[in-house]
Amino acid sequence: GSLSFGSIRNNVQIDGNTVINIAGGNSWATGAVSNERIIGDGFVEFQSGILGKGIMLGLNKDPSGDHTESDYYNQLEYAINITGGNNIHLYENGIEVGDVSVTHEEGNTYRIEVAGDKVKYIARKATGEIIKLHESTRSDTSEAYHIDMGLYAYGSQAKNIIIASNP
Protein backbone atom coordinates (compact mmCIF):
# COMPACT_ATOMS: atom_id res chain seq x y z
CA GLY A 1 0.00 0.00 0.00
CA SER A 2 0.92 3.65 -0.02
CA LEU A 3 3.12 5.07 2.67
CA SER A 4 2.19 8.22 4.52
CA PHE A 5 4.69 10.82 5.64
CA GLY A 6 4.10 12.77 8.83
CA SER A 7 7.26 14.83 8.99
CA ILE A 8 8.13 16.69 5.80
CA ARG A 9 11.17 18.96 5.80
CA ASN A 10 11.73 21.81 3.36
CA ASN A 11 10.21 21.49 -0.11
CA VAL A 12 9.43 17.93 -1.04
CA GLN A 13 6.76 16.55 -3.32
CA ILE A 14 5.19 13.24 -2.38
CA ASP A 15 3.69 11.18 -5.17
CA GLY A 16 2.49 7.84 -3.81
CA ASN A 17 5.62 6.00 -2.65
CA THR A 18 8.02 8.51 -4.23
CA VAL A 19 9.51 11.55 -2.48
CA ILE A 20 11.19 14.27 -4.58
CA ASN A 21 13.24 17.31 -3.53
CA ILE A 22 11.69 20.33 -5.25
CA ALA A 23 13.62 22.90 -3.18
CA GLY A 24 16.44 25.02 -4.52
CA GLY A 25 19.94 24.70 -3.12
CA ASN A 26 21.70 21.67 -1.69
CA SER A 27 20.76 20.46 1.80
CA TRP A 28 20.68 17.12 3.58
CA ALA A 29 17.93 18.60 5.78
CA THR A 30 15.38 18.19 2.96
CA GLY A 31 13.35 14.99 3.27
CA ALA A 32 10.48 13.15 4.93
CA VAL A 33 9.74 10.55 7.62
CA SER A 34 7.21 7.74 7.25
CA ASN A 35 4.35 7.37 9.70
CA GLU A 36 4.69 3.61 9.24
CA ARG A 37 7.33 1.73 11.21
CA ILE A 38 9.17 -1.55 11.12
CA ILE A 39 8.37 -3.39 14.32
CA GLY A 40 10.31 -6.60 14.89
CA ASP A 41 11.75 -7.99 11.67
CA GLY A 42 11.20 -6.21 8.38
CA PHE A 43 12.76 -4.14 5.63
CA VAL A 44 12.68 -0.96 3.62
CA GLU A 45 13.29 -1.03 -0.14
CA PHE A 46 13.74 1.91 -2.48
CA GLN A 47 15.17 3.10 -5.76
CA SER A 48 16.95 6.35 -6.56
CA GLY A 49 15.09 8.04 -9.34
CA ILE A 50 17.87 10.01 -11.00
CA LEU A 51 21.58 9.38 -11.48
CA GLY A 52 23.98 11.98 -10.10
CA LYS A 53 21.70 13.25 -7.30
CA GLY A 54 22.66 12.53 -3.70
CA ILE A 55 20.21 10.77 -1.42
CA MET A 56 20.41 9.06 1.94
CA LEU A 57 17.63 6.77 3.11
CA GLY A 58 17.43 4.54 6.11
CA LEU A 59 15.90 3.60 9.42
CA ASN A 60 15.40 6.02 12.28
CA LYS A 61 14.06 4.96 15.68
CA ASP A 62 13.48 8.53 16.88
CA PRO A 63 12.82 10.90 14.00
CA SER A 64 11.53 13.66 16.26
CA GLY A 65 14.98 15.26 16.56
CA ASP A 66 15.90 18.24 14.44
CA HIS A 67 17.41 17.41 11.10
CA THR A 68 20.14 19.87 10.38
CA GLU A 69 22.68 20.04 7.63
CA SER A 70 25.54 19.17 9.98
CA ASP A 71 24.13 16.28 12.01
CA TYR A 72 22.00 14.55 9.40
CA TYR A 73 24.19 11.49 9.09
CA ASN A 74 24.01 10.93 12.84
CA GLN A 75 20.21 10.80 12.83
CA LEU A 76 19.84 7.45 11.09
CA GLU A 77 20.61 4.17 12.82
CA TYR A 78 21.07 2.35 9.48
CA ALA A 79 21.34 4.13 6.13
CA ILE A 80 22.31 3.80 2.48
CA ASN A 81 23.86 6.89 0.91
CA ILE A 82 24.01 7.25 -2.87
CA THR A 83 26.36 10.10 -3.76
CA GLY A 84 26.15 12.57 -6.60
CA GLY A 85 29.01 10.57 -8.13
CA ASN A 86 26.87 7.40 -7.97
CA ASN A 87 28.98 5.77 -5.27
CA ILE A 88 27.30 3.86 -2.45
CA HIS A 89 28.17 4.32 1.23
CA LEU A 90 26.59 2.74 4.29
CA TYR A 91 26.22 4.55 7.60
CA GLU A 92 25.22 3.50 11.10
CA ASN A 93 24.65 6.34 13.56
CA GLY A 94 26.88 8.60 11.46
CA ILE A 95 29.77 6.14 11.13
CA GLU A 96 30.56 4.62 7.76
CA VAL A 97 30.47 0.81 7.77
CA GLY A 98 31.44 -1.74 5.17
CA ASP A 99 33.40 -1.14 2.01
CA VAL A 100 31.03 -1.03 -0.94
CA SER A 101 32.59 -1.30 -4.38
CA VAL A 102 29.25 -1.41 -6.21
CA THR A 103 28.38 1.66 -8.29
CA HIS A 104 24.81 2.96 -8.34
CA GLU A 105 23.05 2.29 -11.64
CA GLU A 106 19.62 3.29 -12.88
CA GLY A 107 17.14 0.57 -11.96
CA ASN A 108 19.00 -0.67 -8.87
CA THR A 109 16.80 -1.45 -5.87
CA TYR A 110 18.25 -1.14 -2.37
CA ARG A 111 17.12 -2.90 0.79
CA ILE A 112 17.91 -2.49 4.46
CA GLU A 113 16.61 -5.55 6.27
CA VAL A 114 16.44 -6.16 10.01
CA ALA A 115 16.12 -9.81 11.01
CA GLY A 116 16.74 -10.79 14.62
CA ASP A 117 20.03 -9.21 15.62
CA LYS A 118 21.20 -8.77 12.01
CA VAL A 119 21.01 -5.74 9.74
CA LYS A 120 21.56 -6.56 6.06
CA TYR A 121 22.24 -4.11 3.23
CA ILE A 122 21.35 -5.51 -0.18
CA ALA A 123 21.35 -4.19 -3.76
CA ARG A 124 19.37 -5.78 -6.58
CA LYS A 125 20.32 -4.81 -10.11
CA ALA A 126 17.76 -4.37 -12.87
CA THR A 127 19.01 -7.70 -14.25
CA GLY A 128 17.88 -9.40 -11.03
CA GLU A 129 21.43 -9.95 -9.74
CA ILE A 130 21.52 -9.64 -5.95
CA ILE A 131 24.57 -8.13 -4.27
CA LYS A 132 25.01 -8.35 -0.50
CA LEU A 133 26.65 -5.07 0.45
CA HIS A 134 27.18 -5.55 4.20
CA GLU A 135 25.82 -7.21 7.34
CA SER A 136 25.94 -5.76 10.86
CA THR A 137 24.77 -6.87 14.27
CA ARG A 138 22.29 -4.75 16.22
CA SER A 139 22.26 -4.79 19.99
CA ASP A 140 18.60 -3.91 20.57
CA THR A 141 16.18 -6.12 18.64
CA SER A 142 13.13 -4.44 20.21
CA GLU A 143 13.62 -1.12 18.41
CA ALA A 144 10.98 0.09 15.94
CA TYR A 145 12.12 2.16 12.96
CA HIS A 146 10.60 4.80 10.73
CA ILE A 147 11.84 5.34 7.18
CA ASP A 148 13.76 8.60 7.08
CA MET A 149 15.63 10.25 4.24
CA GLY A 150 17.68 13.19 3.09
CA LEU A 151 17.36 14.33 -0.52
CA TYR A 152 20.36 16.53 -1.18
CA ALA A 153 19.78 18.36 -4.45
CA TYR A 154 16.92 19.68 -6.55
CA GLY A 155 15.41 16.64 -8.25
CA SER A 156 16.91 14.09 -5.83
CA GLN A 157 14.32 11.41 -5.27
CA ALA A 158 13.65 8.14 -3.50
CA LYS A 159 11.06 6.18 -5.44
CA ASN A 160 9.07 2.97 -5.14
CA ILE A 161 9.64 2.98 -1.37
CA ILE A 162 8.33 -0.15 0.33
CA ILE A 163 8.16 -0.93 4.04
CA ALA A 164 7.41 -4.38 5.41
CA SER A 165 7.19 -5.50 9.01
CA ASN A 166 6.71 -8.87 10.68
CA PRO A 167 6.35 -8.27 14.41
Q: What is the pLDDT of residues 110-162, one digit of tens each?
A: 999 999 999 999 999 999 999 999 999 998 888 899 999 999 999 999 999 99
Q: At residue 66, does pLDDT exceed 60?
A: no
* pLDDT mean over 90-111: 93
Distance CA 1, CA 9 (A): 23
Q: At residue 43, does pLDDT exceed 70?
A: yes
The pLDDT score that the predictor gives to residue 85 is: 93
* pLDDT mean over 97-119: 94
Q: Which stretches of 2-152 are assigned E, i.e. beta strand?
A: 5-9, 12-15, 18-21, 31-39, 41-48, 55-60, 78-82, 88-92, 95-97, 109-115, 118-124, 130-137, 144-151
Q: At residue 29, does pLDDT exceed 90?
A: no
Distance CA 22, CA 19 (A): 9
Q: At residue 36, does pLDDT exceed 80?
A: yes
